[in-house]
Amino acid sequence: MRHAACGCLLLAAAIGIARAQDADDAALRLADQTAEAADPGKPERRLSVEAAGAWAAPRGGGQREQGQRLSLDLAWERALAPGWRFSLADRLDLLGPDRLPGERSSVNTLKELFLTGRLGRERIVDIGRVNLRLGVAMGYNPTDYFRELAVRQVVSVDPASLRENRQGTVMLRGQQLWQGGSASLLYSPKLGSGPNPGKHAIDVGATNHRHRWLLSLSQTLATDLQPQLLLYEPGEPHSSLQLGLNLTHLLSPACVAHAEWSGGRGPDLLARSHGQPGEGDAFHSQLAAGLTCTTARKLSLTAEYERNGAALDDAGWRALRRGPLAAELAYRQVAAERQDPPTRHNLFLRAAWQDALWPRLDLSAMLRANAADDSRQLWAEARYRLDSTDLALQWQGHHGSQRSEFGALPQRQLWQLLVKHWF
């Protein structure tokens, strides 16, 4: 019993602390690289190949749609000299010969390409394209400020996949570490004016279409309490500095609470969709708060409330859906590009069961619910892990009335069978 309790404590702590530490990945890299810097010629390379087949049932009936995908994913780190490392992460998705509606024949995503250097014992600098993943929430990350236009190819609606398989932002980042805390300052320059739809484009115009900077500070206040404060300059007209906060706290040996908040003046989503950001200039708050509890059987359950103060309220959402379709599509596109919920109040539930029923079988399920129109998106996965190969079956369903958030999606159901092998 004691062992089970300890297991719950460790697993629950790992969930919360690991999410918080994702924002301070540079600090982790410093710790990881301390020993490796002594061997500058040691390569670290990880290549995976994933083959997938998908079948979709279109909304309203009709012929079943199908598609195939072959994905190559490379992550490579190499020490160039004592204290300096090179990192590359790239993903190539080849689609066809059958493709689902809207899919391109191939899409390359340069996720990361940067140099990391140690300047003294407690200072780190990063130069290049970095996939900076901020935030401790599970379904919606208001402080993940560099998520806009970062996803080039959606291979899964799982939030973890969307954050992992996206392109990073070109930046110069410096970090100062001390016992129990860190501070970092980054600058991301404007390098283009917008996305490049080219299949193999580096696409810096999507992630670096304006000048931005971010200051972050984290400090351990107690054994299981390490808040992170953020100050973000979005670099766009009619927007002010955005203040962010990430917080996790261990409530019990098995339960971790998390809260993520961002607030500041800026245009709302409707004004952005009209192309007139000055119309919706006001103070808006975004929030994601929830709880994750883990059982002794390695079953983790997460419930999260999400609020987007820049989105339409219930009445506004109803009015938009009764109006011209073009205006609604423009609004949806802006929300999708920013990875923001299109309505004000939403619910996210997730269950993850490791070694379910028998060893190496993982079961996961996710629910997104729109409180304004009662539409829902469900996703489930069964994954069997071999030593170097994963076999997975995924299902995705969309439910809701016509022109609701999820009921308007063209596919009612989507099945995907995939095999992934690491070399």
Q: What is the DSSP string of 162-182?
A: HHHTS--EEEEEEEEEETTEE
What pLDDT is attached to residue 12?
41
Between 280 and 225, residue with greater pLDDT: 225
In percent, the amount of the chain with pLDDT more than 90 equals: 80
Predicted confidence band of residue 27 (pLDDT cuts 50, 70, 90): very low
Please tell me the distance from the alpha carbon of residue 347 to that of residue 349, in angstroms, as a whole number. 7
Cα 188 to chain center, whole Å? 19
Q: Which residues have a Cβ under 8 Å from the Cβ of 145 and sit 6 or more positions away? A: 134, 212, 214, 230, 232, 234, 242, 244, 262
Compute how many other C-beta atoms are within 10 angstroms of the C-beta atom of residue 199.
15
What pLDDT is attached to residue 8?
40
Predicted confidence band of residue 42 (pLDDT cuts 50, 70, 90): low
What pLDDT is attached to residue 266?
95
Between 279 and 294, residue with greater pLDDT: 294
b/e 171-190 (16+ beta carbons within 10 angstroms → b)? bbbbbbbeeebbebebebee
Does the structure show a pLDDT above 50 at 31?
no
Nearest to 302 by CA among 365, 244, 249: 365
Q: Is 346 helix (H, G, I), strand (E, B) or coil?
A: strand
Contact 91, 108 (CB under 8 A): yes
Does the structure show a pLDDT above 90 at 209?
yes
Nearest to 84 by CA among 117, 123, 130: 117
Q: Which of the residue ranges 13-22, 215-224, 253-262, 310-319 would you say has the lowest mean pLDDT?
A: 13-22
What pLDDT is attached to residue 336?
96
Does the structure show a pLDDT above 80 at 3?
no
Does the structure show a pLDDT above 50 at 30?
no
Does the structure show a pLDDT above 80 at 40?
no
What pLDDT is attached to residue 17?
40
| pLDDT (average), residues 167-190 | 96
Tens-digit pLDDT profile for residues 216-240? 999 998 888 889 999 999 999 889 9
| pLDDT (average), residues 52-79 | 93
Does the structure show a pLDDT above 70 at 290?
yes
Does the structure show a pLDDT above 60 at 16?
no
> Which amino acid would we find at residue 270?
L
